[in-house]
Chain A
Amino acid sequence: MFLIPCPFCGPRDQSEFSYGGEAHIARPTEPEALSDEDWANFVFMRSNPKGVFAERWHHTAGCGKWFNVLRNTATDEVLASYKTGEPPPAVAGFQLATPSGEPPIGSGNDGTKVVP
């Protein structure tokens, strides 16, 4: 359970929002030129990282606007929110923690690293 800072309304309870999944997945500009692999990559494949993740939220019970959030999926810590169409803000400098404060072992655990 977390608060989500809507760029238009300010911080609100998570239950006011609907989830829109991974952000910045660009629709193919030349769909007729796409191979089956490219389509699979666009439609189905997701980064699903353990760590910093750019995702879309919809303020359903508020302003009704879509926007993007940077969140650490290892801890649910919300790092930033920004408007649709903007690039994700740099979050370098944030000291990301693991859920139990365990040492940063495991190369797959991006929760212990700041990734751009």
Chain B
Amino acid sequence: MSHYSLLQLARHSLNGHVGWTPAWRSSGLKERYDAVVIGGGGHGCATAYYLAKEHGLTNTAVIEKGWIGGGNAGRNTTIIRSNYLYDASAAIYDHAMQLWKTLGRELNFNVMMSHRGVINLAHDDNEMRQLKRRVEANRLNGVDAEWLDARQVQEYCPIISISPDARYPVLGGTLQRSGGVNRHDAVVWGYARAASALGVDIIENCEVTGLEVQGRDIVGLRTTRGDITCPKVASVAAGHTSVIAKMADIRLPIESHPLQALVSEPVKPIHNCVVMSNAVHAYCSQSDKGELVIGAGIDPHISYTQRGAFPIIEETLAAILELFPIFSRLKLMRHWGGIVDVCPDASPIISKTPVRGFYINAGWGTGGWKATPGSGQVFADLVANDEPNKIAAPFSLDRFTSGRLVAEHGAAAVAH
């Protein structure tokens, strides 16, 4: 793997950019691995990277049904924040936040991390009280958070309407200054490239068709490109997690829903931060290309189609226009859906399973992107040591039996 640098960029630009080599090795499937990661999205590639880098498991493969970055990694709205209410959530999301800060340097790949600040708006007295409580809870957990009144919200984000005549007027909001956005492709490509450089095989266009379980142990898996023998299988399959788990006769508390997002035509820089609103349900930021990136809520029904219904979009855009009347003439350019794996308590599952050697990282629902590096690192730790570390432990599967849920539905700062 060649090192990316300004010097190298200059050298290649003089040669007309014809000398760039692929970012990761193309590998054939081997018959035996020490560990296999199912799913080549952000979390999957990160898992493989940390398995190789921190645990020496370099004889690892990432099996991806489509192409790297073609699933939810390429479909999310890239919002990064860690202002969750509960200690367990704050621990994992803020762990990820700390990793984001230096990820570009670590991977030698510009992930375009922009800590531009995330505002969560309050539109009524109850919401104000809740969000203020969350600010204090965040501060106790070392997560940067502050409360802004309506005027301060508008100072931070000048284009927002704080008119008291609005149907749901902006009364204030929380600000996490370290929050922001980054570049989804760069993150997943950066992890794949760095993992590949450590010896991990990145296998694309390879669908898992079955898991080999003998007694209570996993011994391998079947794929459309051949069978693999391996003692550890780590599933990071997002919306298809239930499908994979079913191959080992494991039932999960996960439901897969379409989640839609859309971008406008590109315009000059106008929106300087990320604005999210729970009550009217909208979130919006501006990409470096100039498009407004807008996210909707999930469609209520279970579906694997990566398509949602139009009324959801209509509702989201109505909310966006109420917050930002200035966008009323913008045209929309693209609109898509992804399949999100929603857990009943809106918290992820990072867990061992009843099948020894089979591990699951799933249930991130509508907000997994922000956790990518932290999720990959603690999951790699679990896969390598067969025991969850302190950060991963609260997210084990047995919390649905014990009742010790991490119920972030009300506190996750955006409706699900």
Are B304 and A106 within 8 A (Cβ)? no
Per the bound structure, the CA–CA distance linking A48 and B311 in Å amounts to 24
From B246, B252, B253, B301, contact of A108 by CB (8 A): B246
Contacts of A45 in B (CB 8 A): 251-253, 400
Do residues B303 and A48 form an inter-chain contact, with CB atoms below 8 A?
A: no
A99 adjacent to chain B (CB < 8 Å): yes
A41 vs B310: C-alpha distance in the bound complex, in angstroms?
Answer: 34
Determine the distance from Cα of A19 to Cα of B208 in the docked complex, in whole angstroms: 31
- Whether, in the assembled complex, B207 has its beta carbon less than 8 Å from a beta carbon of chain A, the answer is yes
State how many angstroms separate the Cβ of B360 from the closest Cβ of chain A.
13
B255 touches A21 (CB 8 A): yes
Interchain CB contact under 8 A, B310 and A49: no
- In the complex, how many angstroms separate the beta carbon of A57 from the nearest chain B beta carbon? 8
Query: Is B210 on the interface with A (CB-CB < 8 A)?
Result: yes
From known contacts A19-B301, A76-B303, A108-B244, infer whether A44 and B344 are also in contact, taking CB-CB under 8 Å: yes
Provide the residues of chain B in CB contact with A15, threshold 8 Å.
309, 311
Whether B307 and A50, one on each chain, are in contact in the complex, defined by CB atoms closer than 8 angstroms, is: no
Asked whether any CB of chain B lies closer than 8 Å to the CB of A26, the reply is: no
Q: In residues 5-59 of chain A, which contact B (Cβ within 8 Å)?
A: 14-15, 18-19, 21-22, 36-37, 39-41, 43-50, 53, 55
**Which residues of chain B have C-beta atoms less than 8 A from A14's C-beta?**
309
Which residue of chain B lies nearest to A57 when distances are taken between CB atoms in the complex?
A: B301
Do the beta carbons of B301 and A55 come within 8 Å of each other?
yes
**Which residue of B209, B243, B344 is within 8 Å of A50 (Cβ)?**
B243
Across-interface contacts of B209 in A (CB, < 8 A): 105-108
Contact B224 A106 (CB under 8 A): yes
Q: What 0/1 pattern do residues 245 to 260 of B give for CB contact below 8 A with A?
A: 0110001111110000
Residues of A within 8 A of B222 (CB): 107
Does B53 sit within 8 A of A, measured CB to CB? no
Interface pair A106/B242, CB less than 8 Å apart: no
Contacts of B240 in A (CB 8 A): 50, 108
Are the C-beta atoms of B256 and A48 separated by less than 8 Å? yes
Give chain B nearest CB distance to A26 CB in angstroms.
16
Q: How far is the CB of B94 from chain A (nearest CB, A)?
A: 27
> Quick check: A105 and B401 within 8 Å, CB to CB?
no
A96 within 8 A of B: no
Cα–Cα distance between A76 and B247 once the two chains are bound (Å): 23
Find out whether the CB atom of B401 lies under 8 angstroms from the CB atom of A37: yes
| Residue pair B302, A53 in contact (C-beta under 8 Å) | yes
Q: Is the CB of B305 within 8 A of A76?
A: yes
Chain A residues near B15 (CB-CB < 8 A)? none
B300 within 8 A of A: yes
A46–B253 Cα distance when bound, in Å, is 6
Residues A99 and B305 in contact, CB atoms below 8 Å apart = yes
Closest Cβ neighbor of B247 among chain A residues: A108
A22 to B255, CA, bound (A): 10
When A1-B310, A75-B305, A108-B247 are in contact, do A49 and B242 touch as well, CB less than 8 Å? Answer: yes
A21 to B304 alpha-carbon distance, docked (Å)? 15
Q: Check A73 for interface membership: any CB of B closer than 8 A.
A: yes
> Are A44 and B305 closer than 8 Å at their CB atoms?
no
Contact with A along B363-381 (1 / 0, CB 8 A): 0000000000000000000
Chain A nearest CB, measured from B297 CB (Å): 13
User: For the complex, is B214 an interface residue (Cβ under 8 Å from A)?
Assistant: no
Q: When the two chains form their complex, are residues A74 and B305 in contact, meaning their CB atoms are under 8 A apart?
A: yes
Known A37-B401, A45-B400: A74·B304 in contact at CB below 8 Å: yes
Inter-chain CA distance A49–B304, complex, in Å, is 9
Complex CA distance for A75 and B303, rounded to whole angstroms: 8
Closest residue to A44 on the B side, CB-wise? B253
Expressed in whole angstroms, the Cα–Cα distance for A50 and B255 within the complex equals 11
Of the residues A1, A47, A76, A107, contact of B210 by C-beta under 8 Å? A107
> Are B244 and A18 closer than 8 Å at their CB atoms?
no
The answer to whether A105 and B207 touch across the interface, beta carbons within 8 angstroms, is: yes
Contacts of A110 in B (CB 8 A): 243
**Given the contacts A44-B344, A44-B400, A107-B209, A19 and B300 also touching, CB distance less than 8 Å:** yes
Distance in Å from the Cβ of A51 to the closest Cβ of chain B?
Answer: 9
- Complex Cα distance, B244 from A88, in Å, reads 25
* A41, B251: Cα distance in complex, Å: 8
Contact B309 A107 (CB under 8 A): no
User: B243 to A109, Cβ gap below 8 A?
Assistant: yes
Proximity bits, A58-72, B CB within 8 Å = 1, else 0: 000000000000010
Q: Which residues does A use to contact B, with CB under 8 Å?
A: 1, 14-15, 18-19, 21-22, 36-37, 39-41, 43-50, 53, 55, 71, 73-76, 99, 105-111
Residues of B within 8 A of A (CB): 65, 207-210, 222, 224, 240, 242-244, 246-247, 251-256, 300-311, 344, 400-403
The 8 closest A-B pairs by CB, nearest first: A44-B253, A108-B243, A48-B242, A19-B300, A40-B401, A45-B251, A1-B309, A44-B400
10 sampled A-B residue pairs with Cβ under 8 A: A1-B307, A41-B251, A43-B344, A45-B400, A46-B255, A47-B251, A74-B304, A76-B305, A105-B207, A108-B243
